[in-house]
Amino acid sequence: MRLSLPGFTRRLPGEATRIMYKSTDSNGKPVAVTGAYVEPAARWRGPGPRPLVVFAPGTMGQGDQCSASLTLERGVVLKIGWKKSTVSIGYELLAIYRLLAKGIAVVETDYVGLGATDRLHTFVNRVDSGHAVLDAARAAKALPDTSITADSTVGFYGYSQGGGAAAAAAELQSSYAPDVPLKATYSGAPPANITEVTAGIDGTELVGTLGWSVNGFVQSQPDLQPLLDQHLNDTGRAVLKDLSTMCASDALVTYANKRSTAWTVNGESMVDVIRAEPRIQKFIDAQLIGTVKPTGAVRVATGVSDNAVPHAQARMLAVDWCRLGADVTYAPIKLPNVGSPVLNHAGAYLADQGSAVNWLTDRLAGQPAQSTCATLPNQP
């Protein structure tokens, strides 16, 4: 972040610091997580001290070179090799810049295992990701020489994988981090129900995320590996190992529209394997988001044509939270279905980004949210 303009003494949009902080994984063990804190150049114009937003990034991949904090620093991470190359693109930069332009401090988490080298990234693990978000807020407030204070309110921002992480963190705040003064959460296209999400991605451009999910499950619960080994063939084992080193764009180029039936001994899909193994299904069921009332106001946004992170299960998260008495703003993003899961998913993100940043800024400025729970039954 070295952009500067004549007449400005500070770099725009802010000064970034790489961080490593302690969190707790889903097995209750300490784990190191990397990330970055950004001190804005813009002044906060709302009441009270400068607020802090924990930015939960969307899917970056599973290789350590794919970490969001690294792309925040470089924009694009590109490594060319004789046998294998990799590229990771900082597609979240615009949203981060928009928050910084509001005078909001941002801390971005790389999640458990993405950026640190002791384990694989656990991808959509609800507890790992929620804890990483909450502990990022703690880490930012512990940094010296920043403009945020102990009284700075906190917001969460995330879309797709990030939407799930932000949602999980909002649910876990009261039990895990009551010291984090959470005011509001934006959860865009959250993969709240992993069973429903994985069922729709096999054979699409996003099949790589199915492999990352499986790798992450085994990382968190190693005793699942023997169950998987009964079903995987040599191709499947090689694909999962290959995906464990890839970024999102790598997987898109290499495995788009492939089917996981080629990975198994009997030609079953990975979804069929999961359904056939109660212990694996039980682990996935434990990743469900929507069973605990979140802290603060929440905004759930989902594209009605999103078939990557299915609209119906994201909408159900809003319904479930409303039933629990949460302060929910539900925002269906109405765009035409263009067929491609990637484009349907990304289109809703871009279309809603400005509204999401403005909504979160208003909450951090102390303005009350307008709950849509009463009208949700009539929304698409």
**DSSP H or E segment with residue 95:** helix 93-101
What's the confidence (pLDDT) of residue 378? 84
Q: Does domain 14-193+290-378 have CATH number 3.40.50.1820?
A: yes
Written as six digits, the tokens of 157 are 């921002």
Judge residue 191's burial from the number of C-beta atoms within 10 Å of its C-beta, 0-12 exposed, 13-18 middle, 19 or more buried: buried
Residue ranges matching CATH 1.10.260 in the chain: 195-285
Residue 62 makes CB contacts below 8 A (sequence gap 6+) with 114, 120, 121, 123, 212, 215, 216, 243, 244, 245, 246
Contact 60, 66 (CB under 8 A): yes
Q: Which residues pair with 71 in a beta bridge?
A: none
Q: Which CATH number describes the domain made up of 195-285?
A: 1.10.260
- DSSP for 335-352 reads ----S-HHHHHHHHHHHH
pTM to 2 decimal places:
0.95
Distance CA 68, CA 93 (A): 10
Instruction: Please report the sign of the dihedral spanned by the C-alpha atoms of residue 288, residue 90, residue 156, residue 325.
Output: negative
Question: Mind listing the pLDDT tens digit of every residue in the chain (380 residues)?
Answer: 444 444 444 577 899 999 999 999 999 999 999 999 999 999 999 999 999 999 999 999 999 999 999 998 888 887 776 667 788 888 999 999 999 999 999 999 999 999 887 899 999 999 999 999 999 999 999 999 999 999 999 999 999 999 999 999 999 999 999 999 999 999 999 999 999 999 889 999 999 999 999 999 999 999 999 999 999 999 999 999 999 999 999 999 999 999 999 999 999 999 999 999 999 999 999 999 999 999 999 999 999 999 999 999 999 999 999 999 999 999 999 999 998 999 999 999 999 999 999 999 999 999 999 999 999 988 88
What's the confidence (pLDDT) of residue 10? 56
**DSSP H or E segment with residue 132:** helix 126-142
Instruction: Please report the sign of the dihedral spanned by the C-alpha atoms of residue 350, residue 354, residue 355, residue 357.
Output: positive
Cite the DSSP H helix spans in 256-305: 270-276, 278-285
Distance CA 137, CA 372 (A): 28
Residue ranges matching CATH 3.40.50.1820 in the chain: 14-193+290-378
Strand pairing category for 76-79 and 86-89:
antiparallel
